[in-house]
């Protein structure tokens, strides 16, 4: 099926540093998402993004979080500064349009020390 | 989560047997997706459903929007079916998926 890629697969950083997680969505998809999963538990929606704008964000999407997709390149999630509770696996997803099937990347495991 | 309730939370099956997983929604779901998260952590798409049923090999899924539930039936369970099964419902026009807590399935020889 369609592939979503995520770079890096693992990232270890010190608390307070900035981190950028990169997602390469399916080529013709227009909607992009970030989800957060802690310790293999429930997957939580963070944010979705369409036409250069955030469409909806959850309470987990703190002020320190931002997303962008400059000029059709990677769809990125930036956390600045990071906190210990940001340690989790972050999954990127994309869909052709709102309400269409979402395809997920393999996740980036972020560890904040 | 409270909005999407999955049952059972864990299940152990003998190879070759059948079972069913269920999701109940307290939100007005318009579409449902089922995923298998394998031991490596990757999410595998199993089904994308509007109200109705779909079948793929040994798997069959149904989504009833009026009664607010979805089911995933596994026939002739195999060892490679082991993992965590998630259902997720979409109920906004922005595509946001709300996930259940997952069912941990273990298939034993």
The pLDDT score that the predictor gives to residue A100 is: 94
The SS3 call for residue A102 is coil
Omega before residue B83 within 30° of 0, cis: no
Facing residue for A89 by CB, picked from B30, B41, B86? B41
Which domain does A100 fall in, by range? Answer: 5-112
Domains of chain B: 4-108 (2.60.40.10)
pLDDT of residue A72: 75
Mean pLDDT throughout A2-26?
Answer: 97
How far, CA to CA in Å, does B103 sit from each of A113, B51, B85, B107?
A: 30, 22, 5, 13
Reading phi first (left if > 0) and then psi (alpha if -120 to 50, else beta), residue B36 is in: beta
Q: Is the distance from CB of B58 to CB of B13 less than 8 angstroms? A: no
Highest-confidence segment of A1-5, A70-74, B2-6, B31-35: B31-35
CATH, residue A67? 2.60.40.10
Each residue's pLDDT tens digit, A47-95 = 999 999 999 999 999 999 999 998 878 999 999 999 999 999 999 999 9
What's the CA gap between A11 and A13, in Å, rounded?
6
Test A102 with B95 for CB contact under 8 angstroms: yes
Structurally, how many domains does chain A consist of?
Answer: 1
* Residue pLDDT, tens place only, B23-59: 999 999 999 999 999 988 999 999 999 999 999 999 9
Phi/psi of residue A38, nearest 5 degrees:
-105, 125
- Is the model's pLDDT at B1 over the cut of 80? no
Tokens of B71: 């089911």
Q: Across the interface, do A41 and B101 touch by the CB < 8 Å criterion?
A: yes
pLDDT for position B2:
74
pLDDT at position A79 is 98
Query: What is the average pLDDT value for chain B, to the nearest integer?
Result: 95
* CA distance linking residue B99 with residue A60, whole number of Å: 15
Q: What is the mean pLDDT of residues B4-23?
A: 97
B38 interfacial to chain A (CB closer than 8 Å): no
CB B51 within 8 A of CB B63: yes
d(Cα B57, Cα B83) in Å, to the nearest integer?
18
CB contact under 8 A, B99 and A106: no
């Amino acid at each position: 099926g369609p592939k979503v890629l995520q770079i890096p697969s693992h990232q270890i950083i010190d608390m307070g540093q900035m981190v950028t997680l990169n997602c390469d969505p399916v080529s013709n998809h227009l909607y992009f998402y970030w989800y957060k999963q802690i310790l293999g538990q429930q997957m939580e929606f963070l944010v979705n993004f369409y036409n250069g704008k955030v469409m909806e964000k959850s309470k987990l999407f703190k002020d320190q979080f931002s997303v962008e997709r400059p000029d059709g390149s990677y769809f990125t999630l930036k956390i600045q500064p990071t906190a210990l509770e940001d340690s989790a696996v972050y999954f990127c997803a994309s869909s052709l349009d709102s309400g269409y099937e979402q395809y997920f990347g393999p996740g980036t495991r972020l560890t904040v020390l | 989560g409270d909005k999407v309730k999955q049952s059972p939370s864990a299940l152990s099956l003998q190879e070759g047997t059948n079972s069913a997983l269920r999701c109940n929604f307290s939100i007005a779901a318009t579409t449902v997706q089922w995923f298998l998260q394998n031991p490596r952590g990757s999410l595998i798409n199993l089904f994308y459903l509007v109200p109705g049923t779909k079948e793929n090999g040994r798997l069959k899924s149904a989504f009833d929007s009026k009664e607010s539930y979805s089911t995933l039936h596994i026939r002739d369970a195999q060892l490679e079916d082991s993992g965590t099964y998630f259902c997720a419902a979409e109920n906004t026009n922005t595509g946001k998926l709300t996930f259940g807590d997952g069912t941990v399935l273990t298939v034993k020889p």
